[in-house]
Structure 1
Amino acid sequence: MKVLFIGGTGLISQAVSKLAAEKGIKLYLFNRGNRDGLVPEGAEIIVGDIRDKESAAAALDGYEFDVVVDWIAFTPEHVQTDIELFRGRTKQYIFISSASAYQKPLKHYIITEEGTPLENPYWQYSRDKIACEELLMKEYANAGFPATIVRPSFTYGDTMIPASLNSWPHPWSLVARMRKGLPIIVHGDGQSLWTMTHNSDFAKGFVGLLGQQSAIGEAYHITSDEVLTWDQIYDAIGAAAGVKPNLVHISSEFLISYDSELVGGLLGDKAVSAVFDNSKIKQLVPEFMATLPFAEGIKRTIEWFEAHPERCTEDEEWNKQMDKIIAAHSSGFKKG
């Protein structure tokens, strides 16, 4: 099976690339060639920029694939380019959407692909993903474009310390703050439900979809079945770091009053309880089962960071923002 990954070296896709190569799939990665250290053995790099349609077409000239997966399409314009590039040149096109596209707030906390609508008034990122899905399903219905949609939820790996509030460029900041005994903000009361999925578990379900003709025209989410409260998540991060974190609960509304950019990530995603019914992916890929509990997965992550001290950097601006919000909350002052 010949498979093209557009991207293929990101947080989620690197685990899928590794497993696909291990299973003997002939894997091609189409990207700018800047992260060769994350390319699995046996994969072939096609250097190019998918955002430059003409040069991408030239780089891909003469290739045909059984499956094309775009890991870095975020808008309908991105997807339209893919449709034009790969129509008639692949038997399956997989679009990476997002579980944040599901209805917010949810009418029922258990999410299914057919039973939960796609509607997110809080996050443009999610609305763009919904628009991409709508475009692909229209192309499938009207022209037979062989689209499959996959909706990951919060998926982490060795290089990411997942939390509702952390510094994206310096994720070690959260652990450093915990180890210093500084207060750690948890949105809400810490009791809403959430699902963390390790990228190696996600990869098992995803690789099972490759080449599955019965998946054409269908959407799947792929997540762990483990359900945790946010307090449990932060406690597990602390335990992996060898400390008991000092948790401070602050409402999402208060947090958003200090940083409006949190609206999408909180009200549009992590502040809403999310429990996923994975029956659909398991019916198509019976061998799929998420086997790495978060408590064990986050230990691996902490160990990876400690083995790479150059990545154990702190974001001082983020720390200052956390301190400022906590001080304001303690004093009863709400910005705005």
Structure 2
Amino acid sequence: MNSPISLNGKHVGVIGGSRYFGPRLIEELREAGAAVTVINRGSTPPPPGVTRLLADRDDEAALRAALADRRFDVVVDQVCYTPRQARIAARVFAGRTRRYVMTSTVEVYAERGRPGGAPLAEAVVDLSSQPVDLELPWDEDEFLGTHYGEGKRQAEAVLAAQQAFDFAAVRTAHVLGGADFTGRLAHYVERIDAGLSVLVHARPQPASFIHDAEIARFLAWTAAADFTGPVNAASHGALDVRELCAVLGGRGGDGVRYEITPAGEPASPFSFDRAYAVDTARAERLGFTFSRTADWLPAVAKEARA
């Protein structure tokens, strides 16, 4: 059982926060007693009682103007995808916050895992030696889409190197929940229910998952903490794609059809040819106890069909 999160009297800025588990994060922060300010482009109105500042985070001058003389105890950055964005944030929030939490991803471990490998610990990625290239075409959607993990890794490296505020990066496992806008969960439910084959690797490897409500709570907990550096966030119980389909399909997976993808060809989401399970020992030592994937996944599957 985790201790209550306390942010009483704290001012927390959230960059982004309008999609997927962002609204849950804002709710967690407010329940912990924080005054919350959302900083985004204004596509979605914030909940009642939340302050909103309109700014494009990629426009440094506009971001500075929107913040004016604002100060925060903590900033939680939900939408930092590139080293350019991280560099702007490092400059703009210097002197404006004492703590900065970036929502990162297990994709920073891309190509670090191997078939049958052990769960990936934070030290697998050495941010101090991570090359940063600001000249890559980070503004191009196609490039960013195919270099998602690299962009996050370089963004972490930029923020970890600055000295103006304490920095923590939450490397979240693959998030599942009813508000999933990515379509990955729907992909499985729709194919399984229609009797269509799921495209998988010949030897799919396990990956870590986390419920959208739990990652929101963990981010709020991290905002209230004082540790620095990267930390993995995942529920206990990694699953490979066949084990995931067995839960999503019900009846132990009876009736789920599979098709093996040719070597080198893409497969369905969450089918991996190398290990994507992460080690959460650091988070547990710091005091956060994660749930078990098996305890919430059946409800998520039911929710996806509602």
1:203 counterpart residue number = 216
2:142 counterpart residue number = none
1:14 aligns with 2:37: no
Paired residues for 1:186-335 under 5 Å: 186-190=200-204, 192-213=205-226, 215-216=227-228, 218-239=229-250, 244-255=255-266, 270-284=272-286, 286=287, 288-291=288-291, 293-294=293-294, 296-300=296-300, 302-303=302-303, 305-306=305-306
2:77 counterpart residue number = 70
Shift of 1:94: 1.4
Whether the 8 Å contact between 1:148 and 1:219 is mirrored in structure 2 is yes
1:48 counterpart residue number = 55
> Which structure has the highest helix share of the two?
1
* TM-score, structure 2 normalization: 0.80
Structure-2 change in CA distance of 1:178 and 1:305 (3 Å)? closer
1:134 aligns with 2:157: yes
Whether the 8 Å contact between 1:64 and 1:89 is mirrored in structure 2 is yes
Q: Which consecutive residues of structure 2, in runs of 5 or more, have no partner in the other structure?
A: 1-9, 132-144
1:24 aligns with 2:23: no
Q: How many Å separate the matches in 2 of 1:245 and 1:54?
A: 53
Shift of 1:270: 3.3
**Structure 2 letter corresponding to 1:145:** F
Whether the 8 Å contact between 2:201 and 2:261 is mirrored in structure 1 is yes
1:146 counterpart residue number = 166
Question: Secondary structure at the residue paired with 2:198?
Answer: strand
Shift of 1:188: 2.8
Shift of 1:42: 3.2
**Structure 2 letter corresponding to 1:132:** A
Q: Which consecutive residues of structure 1, in runs of 5 or more, have no partner in the other structure?
A: 162-167, 257-261, 307-336
User: Could you report, residue by residue, the CA deviation over 1:172-202 in whole angstroms, capped at 9, with x for unpaired residues?
Assistant: 3432322221222122334x21211111112
Whether the 8 Å contact between 2:13 and 2:72 is mirrored in structure 1 is yes
Shift of 1:73: 1.1
1:177 counterpart residue number = 191
Identify the match of residue 89 of structure 1 among 83, 91, 96: 96
1:111 aligns with 2:120: yes
Structure (1 or 2) with the larger CA radius of gyration: 1
Whether the 8 Å contact between 1:97 and 1:149 is mirrored in structure 2 is yes
Q: How many Å separate the matches in 2 of 1:277 and 1:42?
A: 37
Structure-2 change in CA distance of 1:283 and 1:135 (3 Å)? same
Question: Secondary structure at the residue paired with 2:266?
Answer: helix
**Sequence identity percentage:** 20
Q: How many Å separate the matches in 2 of 1:169 and 1:194?
A: 18
Q: How many Å separate the matches in 2 of 1:224 and 1:251?
A: 31
Structure-2 change in CA distance of 1:174 and 1:279 (3 Å)? closer
Structure-2 change in CA distance of 1:173 and 1:99 (3 Å)? closer
1:33 aligns with 2:42: yes
Q: How many Å separate the matches in 2 of 1:57 and 1:238?
A: 49
Structure 1 residues 80-89 or 107-116, which shifts more? 107-116
Shift of 1:295: 6.4
Whether the 8 Å contact between 1:252 and 1:271 is mirrored in structure 2 is no
Aligned Cα RMSD in Å?
3.1
**Structure 1 letter corresponding to 2:281:** S
Structure-2 change in CA distance of 1:33 and 1:99 (3 Å)? same
Q: How many Å separate the matches in 2 of 1:65 and 1:44?
A: 13
Q: How many Å separate the matches in 1 of 2:249 and 2:301?
A: 12
Structure-2 change in CA distance of 1:49 and 1:254 (3 Å)? closer
Shift of 1:27: 1.2
Question: Secondary structure at the residue paired with 2:98?
Answer: strand
**Structure 1 letter corresponding to 2:300:** R
